[in-house]
C-alpha cells in the first residue's frame, strides 16, 4: 500500500477561518490580535501538558491569549473553539485532490494534534474517506514531537511500501518529517516564509499535490 498522510487543520480544514469566526462575536475588533497570540500560547500549553486533551488545550490557550491581549472573556467563552468545531470549513480543493490520490492508488491518513472526538466531527464532513487517523490523544504527545509518525509507522508495518506526508505547518509537520527522513510536501497555504529547502516539494494549495506526490515516487 502507498500512503499520503496529512495534517488536518490548516491543510484540509480551514482552522484559521473557522476559529476566527467563532472568536469574533466575543473579541470583536481585537479578534486578529487574540488569534495571533493564540498560536504561541497553544504550543506552550502543549509543551507543558503533552497528555492534555485537545479541547482543553483550546480552552487554556484561548484564556492565555485573551489575557495577554487584555481581553476579558465572558464565563465559559474559553470553550468557543470546541463548541464551534463542527462549523469549520473544509477547503474546496480537498475533494478533488484526495479523490485524485485515491484514484491513483494511494491510501489516505491523518496525523493530527486534535483529540478523537473533535477529529471525528471533521472527518465526518470530509468529501473522501480517510483510511487511518492518529491523534494526540492516542499517542500522548503533540507534534512537532515524533509520536504521531512513529505510531503511524507501527500501524502500517507490513502494509506500506511508500509514504509521503503533506502539511501546511512548517514548524509542526514539515520540520519533524524532515528530521525523520519521511518524504514531504509542504502545502504552504499561509506563505509563512520558512525555509522551503527542507521540503521535497512545495505547493501553494492542494491543487498541485497529486502531481507533486507522483513526482516524488519516480
Q: 142 — phi, psi (to 5°)?
A: -115, 140
Give the DSSP letter of residue 111. Answer: E
pLDDT tens per residue across span 30-79: 999 999 999 999 999 999 999 999 999 999 999 999 999 999 999 999 99
Q: Which three cell numbers stand for residue 14?
A: 480551514
Q: Which candidate, 181, 112, 109, places its Cα nearest to that of 143?
A: 112
Residue 108 shares a structural domain with residue 33: no
Q: How many CB atoms lie within 10 A of CB 73?
A: 18
**pLDDT score, position 218:** 76
Number of domains forming the structure of the chain = 2
Tell which of 32, 59, 86 closes a domain: 86
Residue 48 shares a structural domain with residue 58: yes
Residue 42 shares a structural domain with residue 66: yes
Distance CA 31, CA 23 (A): 6
Average pLDDT, the chain: 97
Element (H, E) at 6: strand 2-6
pLDDT tens per residue across span 10-26: 999 999 999 999 999 99
Residue 115 shares a structural domain with residue 62: no
Percent of the chain with pLDDT over 70: 100
Nearest 5°: the CA angle 14, 10, 167 is: 145
Instruction: Sort 187 into a burial class: Cβ within 10 Å, 0-12 / 13-18 / 19+.
Output: buried
Q: For helices 31-48 and 15-27, what crossing angle results, to 10°? A: 120
Q: For helices 116-123 and 54-68, what crossing angle results, to 10°? A: 100
Q: Does position 99 have pLDDT exceeding 90, yes or no? A: yes
**pLDDT score, position 206:** 98
**7 lies in which domain range?**
2-14+89-216
Amino acid at each position: 500500500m502507498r500512503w499520503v498522510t496529512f495534517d488536518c487543520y490548516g491543510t484540509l480544514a480551514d482552522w484559521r477561518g473557522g476559529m476566527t469566526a467563532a472568536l469574533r462575536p466575543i473579541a470583536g475588533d481585537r479578534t486578529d490580535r487574540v488569534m495571533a497570540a493564540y498560536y504561541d500560547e497553544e504550543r506552550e500549553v502543549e509543551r507543558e501538558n503533552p497528555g492534555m486533551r485537545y479541547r482543553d488545550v483550546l480552552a487554556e490557550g484561548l484564556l492565555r491569549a485573551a489575557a495577554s491581549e487584555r481581553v476579558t472573556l465572558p464565563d465559559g467563552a474559553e470553550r468557543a473553539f470546541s463548541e464551534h468545531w463542527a462549523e469549520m470549513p473544509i477547503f474546496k480543493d480537498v475533494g478533488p485532490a484526495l479523490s485524485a490520490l485515491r484514484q491513483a492508488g494511494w491510501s489516505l491518513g491523518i496525523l493530527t494534534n486534535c483529540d478523537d472526538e473533535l477529529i471525528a466531527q471533521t472527518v465526518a464532513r470530509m468529501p473522501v474517506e480517510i483510511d487511518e487517523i492518529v491523534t494526540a490523544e492516542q499517542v500522548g504527545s503533540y507534534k512537532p514531537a515524533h509520536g504521531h509518525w512513529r505510531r503511524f509507522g507501527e500501524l502500517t508495518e507490513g502494509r506500506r511500501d511508500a509514504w509521503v506526508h503533506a502539511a501546511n505547518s512548517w514548524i509542526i509537520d514539515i520540520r519533524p518529517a524532515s528530521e525523520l527522513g519521511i518524504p514531504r510536501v509542504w502545502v504552504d497555504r499561509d506563505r509563512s516564509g520558512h525555509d522551503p529547502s527542507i521540503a521535497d516539494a512545495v505547493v501553494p494549495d492542494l491543487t498541485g499535490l497529486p502531481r507533486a506526490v507522483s513526482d516524488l515516487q519516480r
